[in-house]
Chains A and B, each alone.
Chain A
Amino acid sequence: DIQMTQSPSSLSASVGDRVTITCRASEGIHNDVAWFQQKPGKAPKSLIYDVSSMQSGVPPRFSGSGSGTDFTLTITSLQPEDFATYYCQQYQSYPVTFGPGTKVDIQ
């Protein structure tokens, strides 16, 4: 199984901050990495797929990058509605696996 780790596990930030979340895979992934946002009591929301492609309707302040084993989600200017937990995912091979999540809260 491909293990996905994330760092940090949590962070505190202010509105307007630039936030970067890192995801590391236990083996190389060609292109099949996605990022999701989850708020308490709500279904996850798909943000990024195929490492850097934006899901329809996602604000352009969200972007994804990376290759091989290291991938990044960047939020260029944090907005109040962005405080949530973020998960990375690999879908290159079975089983599909997720990172443990990064909680972004208000500083």
Chain B
Amino acid sequence: EEQLVESGGGLVQPGGSLRLSCAGSGFTLSDHYMDWVRLAPGRGLEWVARSRSKSYSYTTEYAASVKGRFTISRDESKTSVYLQMNSLKTEDTAVYYCVRLGPSGNYENWGQGTLVTVSS
């Protein structure tokens, strides 16, 4: 079964850091583009970051709201994708989802999400 499992969420103070992990199984992670998407309370879905596939050298894209603060990366040997989040703000509070993209750029498979709460 193809599966994505996120971990690493929690409570952090403003200005702090957190690293989210997304473990993929049942498919070859390096063949796929991978996104992080978040759902903030009362705010709807927001795309956060993208890591292209190995064929595209794992190049990355970021939403303007997180650029310079968040970094998406991969560990090929562990078949995982990560989101390093620094200088966190209260408005980063959300459930963060890891998503696998299909050949058309469409979202094929979602993880169950991990909650990040930024609060003092």
Contacts and interface: CB of A to CB of B under 8 A. Distances in A.
Contact of A45 (B105, B106, B110): B110
From A55, A96, A99, residue with most partner B Cβ within 10 Å: A96
Interface residues of B, number: 23
Looking at chain B's contact residues, the main secondary structure is strand
Interface in A41-82: 43-46, 49-50, 53, 55
A101 B24 CA distance: 28
Instruction: For chain A, give the interface size range.
Output: 20 to 34
B56 to A, nearest CB: 14
B97 A44 contact: yes
A34 B110 contact: no
A43 B45 contact: no
A98 B46 contact: yes
